[in-house]
Amino acid sequence: EGQLVESGGDLVKPGGSLRLSCAASGFTFTSFPMNWVRQAPGKGLEWVSSIGTGISGYKYYADSVRGRFTISRDNAQSSHYLHMDSLTAEDTALYYCAAGDFLLSNSLDFWGRGTLVTVSS
């Protein structure tokens, strides 16, 4: 059974930056597209970003984060990342990483428990 563990969440001031990490184990990491999904306090799930497999894998972003967030992966480390710049209060959320092909089969097979990002002065 695949396992994902997020880290890097923190309290950051508006305009600040943060990098989230997601460590994967228990499955063939290189075969899975990876994704970030967030849940703001009292709100529902919101898709944030997806990255395909391989060096030239696709990268997609939600309109709300495009130009500010960057997704990446390191297959050698079985990890993927979300670099977040120009953070605002609207980015405050629990950020989940998820493994699976959201684009084609629309399945996020494995999820982590999330890491909390709070943007506040």
Partner 1 sequence: QSVLTQPPSMSAAPGQKVTISCSGSFSNIGNNYVSWYVLVPGTAPKLLIYENNERPSGIPDRFSGSKSGTSATLDITGLQTGDEADYYCATWDTSLRGGVFGGGTKLTVL
Q: Are strands 115-119 and 11-12 parallel, antiparallel or unpaired?
A: parallel
Q: How many residues bind partner 1 (CB under 8 A)?
A: 28
Q: Which is nearer to partner 1, 12 or 112 (CB)?
A: 112
Write out the H or E segment, with its range, that includes residue 113.
Answer: none
Q: Minimum distance between the CB of residue 62 and partner 1, rounded to whole angstroms?
A: 5
19, 92 in Cβ contact below 8 A?
Answer: no
**Contact letters for partner 1, residues 4-23 (x by CB under 8 A):** x-------------------
Which C-beta is closer to partner 1: that of 49 or that of 79?
49
Q: Which is nearer to partner 1, 55 or 104 (CB)?
A: 104
State the nearest-atom distance from the C-beta of 3 to partner 1, in Å.
9
- Which residues 102-121 are close enough to bind partner 1 by CB under 8 A? 102-109, 111-114
Report yes or no: 48 and 61 within 8 Å, Cβ to Cβ: yes
* Binding of partner 1 by 89 (CB under 8 A): no
28 Cβ contact partners less than 8 Å away, ≥ 6 residues apart: none
How many whole angstroms separate alpha carbon 23 and alpha carbon 68? 22
